[in-house]
């Protein structure tokens, strides 16, 4: 990486790596009706989501929550600041002024334990990494945010890693390209 690109991430920005958000909780337990509405909407007829007896026979303690519903429930916490990788009080991260264009650059999910109807989940994000890459339209600052999802017993059920890319807004890119 060139020194010019590397300099886009300031020492103040690097100091933010490792900072964690406050723990946020779902406002209520995951209900059977949450699951029912979700599986009807997406057309998922897996009986593990709707049949307690079958789920127990399969080795679970009861009806499971579809994994992607867990991710969608994060929106109920109101923690949009962490989800969208914007500047926030908890991280202290401030991008260079001209880097105002944001893109989602990917999401990875790791599952460690099942989630059940009746669970109450908490979410805590951590700024895991910052790095710069040169793109077609100029440099991009990438942010990796890890969000740990735990149940009411504190068991880590999933980790969601979201990568975001910040680029210069079009007006800055055009001005920088002028001779």
| CATH number of the domain encompassing residue 16 | 3.10.129.10
The whole-chain average pLDDT of the chain stands at: 88
pLDDT single digits (tens) 40-96: 999 999 999 999 999 999 999 999 999 999 988 887 777 655 444 455 678 889 898
pLDDT single digits (tens) 20-33: 999 999 999 999 99
> What does the alpha-carbon distance between residue 86 and residue 164 come to, in Å, rounded to a whole number?
9
Answer yes or no: is 115 within a domain: yes
What is d(CA 167, CA 62) in angstroms, rounded to the nearest whole number?
46
Domain contains 59: no
Task: Report pLDDT for 55.
Answer: 95
Q: Can you give the residue range of the structural domain that contains 86?
A: 3-30+66-177
What are the structure tokens assigned to 176, written together? 């920088």
Report the alpha-carbon distance of residue 51 to residue 64 in Å, rounded. Answer: 9
Paired tokens of 100: 């105002």
User: Of 86, 40, 102, 87, which is closest to residue 66 (Cα–Cα)?
Assistant: 40
CA–CA gap between residue 162 and residue 145 (Å, rounded): 5
Supply φ then ψ for residue 91, to 5 degrees: -90, -30
**pLDDT for res 2:** 78
Residue 145 carries which DSSP code? E
List beta partners, residue 123: 24, 149
Confidence bin at 6 (pLDDT 50/70/90)? confident
* Residue scoring higher pLDDT (110 or 92): 110
What is the model's pLDDT at position 127? 95
Instruction: Tally the domains of the chain.
Output: 1
Residue at 20 is within a domain? yes
> Does residue 39 lie within any of the structural domains?
no
């Amino acid at each position: 990486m060139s020194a010019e690109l590397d300099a886009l991430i300031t020492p103040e920005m690097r100091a933010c790596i490792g900072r964690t958000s406050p723990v946020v909780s779902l406002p209520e337990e995951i209900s059977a009706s949450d699951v029912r509405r979700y599986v009807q909407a997406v057309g998922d007829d897996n009986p593990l989501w709707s049949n307690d007896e079958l789920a127990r026979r399969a080795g679970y303690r009861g009806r499971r929550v579809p994994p992607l519903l867990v991710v969608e429930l994060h929106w109920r916490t109101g923690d949009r600041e962490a989800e969208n990788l914007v500047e926030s009080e908890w991280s202290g991260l401030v991008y260079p002024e001209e880097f105002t264009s944001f893109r989602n650059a990917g999401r990875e999910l790791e599952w460690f334990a099942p989630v059940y109807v009746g669970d109450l989940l908490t979410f805590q994000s951590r700024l895991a990494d910052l790095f710069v890459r040169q793109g077609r339209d100029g440099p991009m600052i990438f942010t990796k945010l890890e969000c740990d999802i735990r149940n009411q017993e504190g068991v880590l059920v999933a980790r969601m890693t979201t990568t975001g890319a910040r680029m210069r807004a079009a007006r800055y890119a055009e001005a920088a390209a002028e001779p």
